[in-house]
């Protein structure tokens, strides 16, 4: 899943393999969505678990309701100003359709956790082995027991 290079919000290539061996939460994001306040919970997860090996990777997308219309610079400013986001964020990507990014092609074709992404703020949790360990619908909040229990279980594995 992580053998890819993606552009970060600054437009620089970032090799996702740098997150190999960590527990990774991949989230498709949007700034004008009813779920946008989840940025705060994602930042809190980052603050709580980053030192233990969790990496949260944010991928803005305008594919659902055109709810991420801004430029990469605008997205970054919005996230920092409104939610204090410090976790890695990437350039806007396609989550569905003919232009779907390679990352989301991989995620949605997984035999166990695959299937098209339904909306903004769906979350894929990768174990330290780089395989999908869990998938959470948009309505599952970052501070939910369901999500924190899954993250803690993956972090506990060596």
The rounded Cα 74 to chain-centroid distance in angstroms is: 18
The single-letter DSSP state of residue 52 is G
Active site residue 33: yes
The rounded Cα 40 to chain-centroid distance in angstroms is: 13
61: which 2 tokens?
């997308």
The torsion angles phi and psi of 129, rounded to 5 degrees, stand at -80, 0
Q: Which residues contact 138 (CB under 8 A, 6 or more apart)?
A: 35, 118, 119, 120, 121, 122
Q: Pick the closest to residue 90 from 32, 4, 33, 11 (CA basis).
A: 11
> Of 4, 20, 32, 33, which one is the catalytic site residue?
33
Q: Which residue has the tokens 């299937």?
A: 115
The runs of H, that is alpha helices, within the chain are 38-49, 72-83, 102-108, 145-156
Residues annotated as catalytic (active site), given as ranges: 33
């Amino acid at each position: 899943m992580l053998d890819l290079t993606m552009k970060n919000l600054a437009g620089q290539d970032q090799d996702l393999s740098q997150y190999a061996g960590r527990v990774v939460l991949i989230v498709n994001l949007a700034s004008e969505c009813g779920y946008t306040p989840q940025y705060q919970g994602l930042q809190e997860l980052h603050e709580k678990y980053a030192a233990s090996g969790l990496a949260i990777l944010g991928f803005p997308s305008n594919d659902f309701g055109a709810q991420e219309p801004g430029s990469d610079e605008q997205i970054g400013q919005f996230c920092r100003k409104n939610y204090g986001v410090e976790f890695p964020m990437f350039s806007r990507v396609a989550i569905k359709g003919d232009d779907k990014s390679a990352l989301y092609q991989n995620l949605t074709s997984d035999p166990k956790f695959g299937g098209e992404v339904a909306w903004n703020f769906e979350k894929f949790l990768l174990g330290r082995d780089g395989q999908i360990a869990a998938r959470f619908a948009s309505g599952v909040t970052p501070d939910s027991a369901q999500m924190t229990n899954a993250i803690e279980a993956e972090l506990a594995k060596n």
